[in-house]
Structure 1
Amino acid sequence: MLVSLVLFLPPHPDIMCKGHIVKCRVYNPHPPLHEYHRSGDLIIGAVASYNFMFSFSIDFSEDPPAPMPLGLGVVPKNYQHIAALEFAVKEINENSQLLPNVTLGFHVYDSYFNAKSTYHATILLSSTLERFVPNYNCDLQNNLIAIIGGLDSPISLNVATVLDIYKTPQLIYGAAPVMNDKTPGLPFYQLVSKEALQNEGILSLLLHFHWTWIGVVYMDNKNGERFVQTVVPMFSQRGICFAFIERLPTIHFIMEILGSLEDASEICDRIMKSKANVLIAYGESYAVAFFRWMPLLKATPKGKVYIATTQVEHTAFIFQRNWDTEIFHGSLTFTLHSSELPGFLQFLEKKNPLSIKGDGFIHDFWKQVFECEFLNSDPVEVDVNFCTGEEKLESLPGEFFERRMSGHSYSIYNAAYAVAHALHAMYSSRHKHRATVNRERLELKNQQGWQMHQFLKDVAFNNSAGDKVSFNHNGEIAAGLDIINWIVFKNHSFHREKVGWMDPQAPRDQAFTINEDAIIWDSSFNEIRPLSLCTESCHPGFSKSVIEGEPFCCYDCIPCPEGKISNQMDLNDCYKCPDEYYPNQNRDSCIPKEVVFLSYEEHLGFGLAFMSIFFSCVTALVLGIFMKYHNTPIVKANNRSLTYTLLISLLLCFLCTLLFIGHPVKLTCLLRQTAFGIIFSVAVSCVLAKTITVVVAFMATRPGSRMRKWVGKRLANSIVLSCSLIQVGICSVWLATSPPFPGLDKHSVIDKIVLECNEGSVVMFYYVLGYTCFLAIICFTVAFLARKLPDSFNEAKFITFSMLVFCSVWLSFVPTYLSTKGKYMVAVEIFSILASSAGLLACIFSPKCYIMVLRPELNNKEHLMTRKG
């Protein structure tokens, strides 16, 4: 005995009060299986609960059973599935080219959304109609060929469990059951795309609109668990986070309703408090009817974009007639692809309970959707409306009945034609000669369902809408998915607009198509694209910084560090510009760098060049004065040739700085450092020679001194030559191994590309500079020790001051040079050369020039030889 408890609720929203039921009663506790029989040579049997499954069978019965009453807990919109099957059978029977001389009929049974009724109905299809004897058929009027069904995968799996015994083919027009080691290995034929295509479509939709903070609500069953286990890692890899994943409780008994509604109320709370504006709804075909409880449990969760999967239909239970439906306005649904069938609308307009016999569903469907009673019904209240049978289906809200063909109805239509074409191919292959009608009927009776498989696999035809229908080697149809935008009006009617699709035959990167301009969003979004983010997007110039303990979609926005930019929204990290570019002030774009070098046109280069020429002229003037007073005692006193060599080397030192200014070329790069090093070494060597000469000269004046043989030009020349040759050797090794060359410095200065002379070997550069400083330190030490020698004109004092200036300049040069960048490094070196050379010139030669020009009376031998105590 089949026992079914159906909840009866008045069609008014005031039945809910703070999430608790005020009234309820049990209605029709023992509902029989509802049936719809249409006789014919071929019978399409079906199991339904407004969750229909259909089957093909051989049946020659003529008097169908009387219609049975239907309980109130139904989904009336699914009645269109019966209409689609009836329409397909009608077209097949009227087509003389398909199954000629054969009339097609059908059987429809109700499964009541439960396994027990589904098993019962499926066994009825394979048994004698008048007598329910499982696995026994005592006549030849019900020879099962194939089954179409069901709408939800649990129903299809229950059917497959029975059909596996008989190897009868099953054509599934809804979600396919997941077959594993514990489920039957029955080959079934799938009229819908794989769920993987739908998951890819949802992911593409989220990425297109940059919705990275979403919620998921699913029904508590194995399919829902599998969906969550599939999409969570898949979506997370593409940067999408889940604000919440809520499992809706499944109601099995009426006493569970109160507890389930309390759980649902808590779920509504979490949905309302979440910042996620996008909600993915996964469930069975009747899931929307359960989602519609939310406005009654809590405040209406508006401001959300609902993304529903293919199984979720926009449906309602009868008692939800006046309930708010605007929460689904602007929602997006992935639906099975469907096309408008010629003549289907006119077929629906002619349907009424007065013209159809054997339909056990239409009377109860009619009574519930039009809120009326037929005259031959059970006693009813006096003020009730009576059904005339002339009510118009087009006046019904879409949640109860749609005239536009749904994706599931379209799949049923194609399934009916697929079986018809397979049967036609099977009979055509066995009829080598013309047979009589009676013989054909006899052969029909002897056909078995398992024989259909090889013909179903090869089915290929174009339906009346022009769409091609065929199965691949896995028994799957290459059907795409439509993306529907639901536009709900205040009168509970709605319009569905196709705004995109998923094409399984297109390349992966082209499978998803969306027309954003055609989408109508919920009014709370002010007709602009909704946002669903855990954190506001990071603008260009900023990067994301993940907050510890939060999902990676929740982050802080931090400015890009110096030298880096971000030119897009929500970048995980800033990046450096190419070497030829640098970040702008906002650090959101790259600007081309300016190529610079120390040129004569700029003030710094011009000033340094002017100083170089000025000191060169001063040095030349000093040289001229010394040459004019060539034979005076003060010029003769300290080796005239050494003095002239020092002045000429200082002149060249001033002029060599000009090699550092201007556009670097290969020749200037080779000469600038080596020429400076050698010339400076000669100058310092001359000063060292003058210092040593002074010391030797005073030591030679002592009685019995052996130093007299060293007095003269020979010692001085040897010192200058030997010290200079060492520097020449160092520079030669430098030029031979790693010479300087013109180069670009792209990194020292952020916004400039410095055209410079690359030193080639930095080590050799510091060897050259270090050797010169080494000579200067020796010279300074010797001069310092000889500064107090008794003489009226002791040159060692002036050499000490000159070397003090020289060493101070070059000791300051090293840290200053290393701390500057770009062309200013060149300027620092030029300044150091000028300053140290000017120090030598001033400290050594200015006292002598003063005597020769302004105090000529002091320029005599007596004065120079006078010793001071």
Structure 2
Amino acid sequence: MHLYFLMLFILVSLEQLDAESACNPIGKFSVPGLYKDGDIVIGGVFPVYNKEEPNYAMFETEPAITKCVGFDLRAFRWTQAMIFAIQEINMDRILLPNVTLGYTIFDSCASPTKALRAAHTILNGQEETQYNFGCPSVPVIIGESGSSQSIAISRTFGPLRMPMISYFSTCACLSDKHEHPTFFRTVPSDFFQARALAQLVKHFGWTWIATIQGDNEYGRMGVQEFTKEVKKYGVCVAFSEKVLRTYPYSQILKIVETIKRSTVKVILAFASEGDLYPLMQEIVRQNITGIQWIASEAWITAARPSTKENFKSFGGAIGFVSREMAIPELKEFLLNIRPSLDSGNSFVTGFWETIFQCTLHLTEDNSNQTFSETNSEICTGQERLDQINNAFFDVTKLRVAYNVYKAVYAIAHALQDLIFCQKGEGYSFKLCENISNIQPWQVYEHLQKIKFKNRFGEIVYFDENGDPAAAYDIINWHLKNGIVDHVPVGYFDASSDTGTKLVINEDSIIWNSGKMVPKSVCTESCLPGTRKAIRTGQPICCFDCIPCADGNISNETDSVECMKCPEEYWSNAKKDKCIPKEIEFLSFSEAFGITLTTVALMGLCFTIATATVIIYNKNTPIVKANNIELSCLLLFSLVLCFLCSLTFIGEPVVWTCMLRHTFFGIAFALSISCVLGKTIVVVTAFKATLPNSNMAKLFGPVQQQIIVFACTAVQIIICALWLNLSPPFPVKNLKHDKEKIILECNIGSAIGYSLVLGYIGMLSCICFVLAFLARKLPDNFNEAKYITFSMLIFCAVWLTFIPAYVSSPGKYTVAVEIFAILSSSFGLLVCIFVPKCYIILLKPEKNTRQYIMGKMPSKRL
């Protein structure tokens, strides 16, 4: 900031000088350059030499002039493209007729301070120069390539409304018109390059990458924009290192060690060629391979990195560059460069010595400043350029040079609109502005408005930020015949009508690892059926894959959370799909259902067989003694009990739910009522033997039948009210077992169900008490004893049924209920009728009146 105000003060002071003093020496700026006079002179700043030699001031003597080393053929071709475009315009009879353009070009040495010095020299003249010229108008500057250099120039001259057009400064910060009001460029902003790079990373599924940035505005702003974009796609940056051409070797080694330790397989290098090259050399020296490099526009097509030696480590590098263009006429222009034509120019001398790898000696007293490295071979300047095979002369794939070419033509069209306001007949134009009085702010205003189609068919214009339309080619490094070839494998167009468009021909890409797309992830993707769990203290790309909980699924890769299955669905074994829950009910087709059905049918058959035996032997004493009417009625109720157990098997529906509970309640009420009747008969028979007893008349056969039907009628009424008010109904039980749907019958009214069971229990208790009291009656066939056993079994079964019923899961709940019905039914059948059938069938000698009567009274029971 202090430098900015200092330079602003100098420029304002200079404007106050007269024209003659403005061209006087302003300091010892000995800056190498190229110059040609013209009516209007265009300034140019280029990094012809790409590195400053370290100059350590001891504060004891005047510091020596900082020398520049490393002649850059690529940057020198940019200067020649500018000169070529100016000569082409000077020969054009339509564009700026009768107006000659000149140029003054100086070296920036790829340094912001030297770039600023070069710009001041262009605008204010210099002390030590071989040219003898007055003070031409320089209303615009073309430059610089590096963003840091352009920022330094723009911040100094922007407030004075001096326009500048950069051909290679891509920092997005330069689009800020508050900071850089008069800055234009013919190369797209890094804002678009960052978006393109982010989409490239997303396209290939790289989520774990690293960045290396130049320690300047270009690198910092580029990586900042890129990082902001890739974070939208869930990409993590493992580490970010900085490089600069002036960094010590120890810093380079530190970066290399970071790369070697990291698991990252994809690295973006957003730096200029000069800043990145020392790191590239060390990576090649240590033979680090297996890294896929993504390149920024600044170095992907640069000649120095693109060598066979570097290909082992950087082969397959991929990046974006401006659209290429061929200018065939430029080749002849480049081949005509001769040291003899400009013997005092250090640019030409440096070019000649670099291209021929020699030391140039034109005269015995060679006093020109050549800062290239010393070569042992001597050259004379008569060597032939057309015999040299160098990419310098390849004008078929021009990118930055074409940007310089467009910048010159943009200035020419702005001057055309400024100087000539009306076209006359033929090629005549009317002058509207004095050429010698053109001011920079006028050129700036007309640059904002230009829009023309050049001879290559491209429409050239600047948007409100001074940027051109953003379009890139995607370049991939291939090795062909020992030469690194920059092969286009796609493009990115940010000016598409349908939005940004990324097109990639993946089949044409060669990766550092071969033909397979490299993978770079901190953690492998979580497969369907799992979810991502972020590791504490680590980036979001580093995670653990946790299986989904039961009943939850994830059907996509890298799911953040699992989805709960709908209520009637459950997760499959892989937890990647919801499948219908298993339907569970006690079926006739399963083993358990078949077993219970078989037992019920066996009980039914035994009951029918018993009834057959009883009816067939109805006239025998033992049958007569036990009241055949009640016995047949009891056997009929047992048939109903065995049959009702079958209603509990099968899929529950409305009618089976209503039938199974009411049928069960009525059947058991009838059976217990019959047993109660039998018990009363036994008790009354005993009481009837007492003197003056009238019990036999009170509890005769008719009265016994009334008791049975009355007791059963009460249960029928309870069941009717239950069915009318809140009947049982089928339901899907989803809570008992999360993996299954249990089909069961809801009892409807709990009170109704309780009354049904309670009534049966009450009848059972009465029977048990009466039978227990009559268990020791003096007869040979004491039926009261067998009724006691049957009621004891009945009560024991149903008392154990309650806890078993509550604790049994799923279909086993129904199975417990069926088991209780069958057990109690078999208990009544076996205890009451098996002793009778045993005597009838196996002991007929005991089936006599004498045996039956024994000590019993001679009354019909």
TM-score between both structures, scaled by the size of structure 1 = 0.78
> Residue 72 of structure 1 aligns with which residue?
69
Change (3 A) 1:713 1:237: same
- Match for residue 170 of structure 1 among 126, 151, 164: 164
> Residue 248 of structure 1 aligns with which residue?
243
1:237-636 to structure 2, matched below 5 A, reads 237-248=232-243, 251=246, 260-295=248-283, 299-315=286-302, 324=310, 326-345=312-331, 347-354=333-340, 360-376=346-362, 378=366, 383-392=377-386, 395-396=389-390, 403-428=395-420, 430-431=421-422, 440=431, 443-488=434-479, 493-506=483-496, 511-522=501-512, 525-538=513-526, 543-557=531-545, 569-572=557-560, 609-628=597-616
Residue 213 of structure 2 aligns to a residue whose secondary structure is strand
Are the equivalent residues in 2 in contact too, given 1:338–1:406 (CA < 8 A)? yes
Are the equivalent residues in 1 in contact too, given 2:154–2:182 (CA < 8 A)? no
Quote the Cα distance in structure 1 between the aligned partners of 2:566 and 2:336. 72
Quick check: 1:796 aligned with 2:787?
A: yes
Residue 280 of structure 1 aligns to a residue whose secondary structure is strand
Quick check: 1:123 aligned with 2:120?
A: yes
Quote the Cα distance in structure 1 between the aligned partners of 2:566 and 2:431. 81
Change (3 A) 1:325 1:671: closer
1:308 maps to a residue whose letter is A
Structure 1 position 728, deviation (Å): 3.1
Change (3 A) 1:224 1:586: same
2:165 maps to a residue whose letter is L
Quote the Cα distance in structure 1 between the aligned partners of 2:142 and 2:827. 107
- Match for residue 658 of structure 2 among 648, 663, 674: 674
Change (3 A) 1:118 1:732: same
Quote the Cα distance in structure 2 between the aligned partners of 1:848 and 1:572. 75
Change (3 A) 1:405 1:713: same
Quote the Cα distance in structure 2 between the aligned partners of 1:461 and 1:861. 135
1:448 maps to a residue whose letter is Q
> Residue 63 of structure 1 aligns with which residue?
none
Structure 1 position 622, deviation (Å): 3.5
> Residue 58 of structure 1 aligns with which residue?
none
Change (3 A) 1:507 1:680: farther
Root mean square deviation of aligned Cα: 4.6
Are the equivalent residues in 2 in contact too, given 1:646–1:687 (CA < 8 A)? yes
Structure 1 position 807, deviation (Å): 1.8
Quote the Cα distance in structure 2 between the aligned partners of 1:222 and 1:203. 19
2:794 maps to a residue whose letter is M
1:50 maps to a residue whose letter is V
> Residue 36 of structure 2 aligns with which residue?
38
Quote the Cα distance in structure 2 between the aligned partners of 1:615 and 1:143. 123
> Residue 15 of structure 1 aligns with which residue?
none
Q: Deviations over 1:668-712 (max 9, x none)?
A: 711212211111111222344345446656666667999996874
Change (3 A) 1:674 1:390: same
1:188-207 to structure 2, matched below 5 A, reads 188-207=183-202
Quote the Cα distance in structure 1 between the aligned partners of 2:472 and 2:599. 82
Quote the Cα distance in structure 2 between the aligned partners of 1:186 and 1:567. 53
Are the equivalent residues in 1 in contact too, given 2:621–2:849 (CA < 8 A)? yes
With 373-382 and 327-336 compared, the bigger mean Cα shift is at 373-382
Structure 1 position 620, deviation (Å): 3.5
> Residue 254 of structure 1 aligns with which residue?
none
Quote the Cα distance in structure 2 between the aligned partners of 1:528 and 1:478. 33
Structure 1 position 516, deviation (Å): 1.6
Quote the Cα distance in structure 1 between the aligned partners of 2:634 and 2:458. 102
Structure 1 position 121, deviation (Å): 2.4
Quote the Cα distance in structure 2 between the aligned partners of 1:685 and 1:676. 14
- Rg (Cα) greater in structure: 2
Are the equivalent residues in 1 in contact too, given 2:324–2:397 (CA < 8 A)? yes
Residue 73 of structure 1 aligns to a residue whose secondary structure is strand
Are the equivalent residues in 1 in contact too, given 2:325–2:397 (CA < 8 A)? yes
Change (3 A) 1:299 1:152: same
Structure 1 position 452, deviation (Å): 3.2
Are the equivalent residues in 1 in contact too, given 2:269–2:294 (CA < 8 A)? yes
TM-score between both structures, scaled by the size of structure 2 = 0.78
Q: Deviations over 1:548-601 (max 9, x none)?
A: 444333344555555666666544556567789876666666778888977666
Quote the Cα distance in structure 2 between the aligned partners of 1:418 and 1:596. 82
- Match for residue 717 of structure 1 among 684, 709, 717: 709
> Residue 371 of structure 2 aligns with which residue?
none
Change (3 A) 1:469 1:436: closer
Quote the Cα distance in structure 2 between the aligned partners of 1:47 and 1:568. 54
Quote the Cα distance in structure 2 between the aligned partners of 1:815 and 1:767. 17
Quote the Cα distance in structure 2 between the aligned partners of 1:809 and 1:534. 61
Residue 424 of structure 1 aligns to a residue whose secondary structure is helix
Are the equivalent residues in 2 in contact too, given 1:459–1:470 (CA < 8 A)? yes
- Match for residue 106 of structure 1 among 85, 93, 103: 103
Q: Deviations over 1:824-847 (max 9, x none)?
A: 776666566555544444444433
Quote the Cα distance in structure 1 between the aligned partners of 2:613 and 2:581. 50
2:32 maps to a residue whose letter is H
Structure 1 position 276, deviation (Å): 0.9
Structure 1 position 764, deviation (Å): 2.3
Structure 1 position 124, deviation (Å): 3.1
Quote the Cα distance in structure 2 between the aligned partners of 1:590 and 1:401. 66
Structure 1 position 265, deviation (Å): 0.8
Change (3 A) 1:865 1:294: farther
Are the equivalent residues in 1 in contact too, given 2:172–2:191 (CA < 8 A)? no
Residue 72 of structure 1 aligns to a residue whose secondary structure is strand
2:162 maps to a residue whose letter is T
Q: Deviations over 1:749-784 (max 9, x none)?
A: 85x8x7x8564xx36286666555444544554454
Structure 1 position 304, deviation (Å): 0.8
Q: Show structure 2 runs of 5+ residues with no match.
A: 1-27, 51-64, 368-373, 857-861
Residue 171 of structure 1 aligns to a residue whose secondary structure is strand
> Residue 673 of structure 2 aligns with which residue?
689
Are the equivalent residues in 2 in contact too, given 1:47–1:108 (CA < 8 A)? yes
Quote the Cα distance in structure 2 between the aligned partners of 1:212 and 1:275. 12
Change (3 A) 1:244 1:131: closer
> Residue 16 of structure 1 aligns with which residue?
none
Are the equivalent residues in 2 in contact too, given 1:373–1:384 (CA < 8 A)? yes
With 629-638 and 511-520 compared, the bigger mean Cα shift is at 629-638
Percent identity, aligned pairs only, is 28
> Residue 24 of structure 1 aligns with which residue?
none
1:472 maps to a residue whose letter is D
Change (3 A) 1:602 1:208: same
Q: Show structure 1 runs of 5+ residues with no match.
A: 1-29, 53-67, 133-137, 252-256
Residue 716 of structure 2 aligns to a residue whose secondary structure is helix
Quick check: 1:149 aligned with 2:133?
A: no
> Residue 8 of structure 1 aligns with which residue?
none
Structure 1 position 517, deviation (Å): 1.4
2:521 maps to a residue whose letter is L
- Match for residue 651 of structure 1 among 639, 657, 660: 639
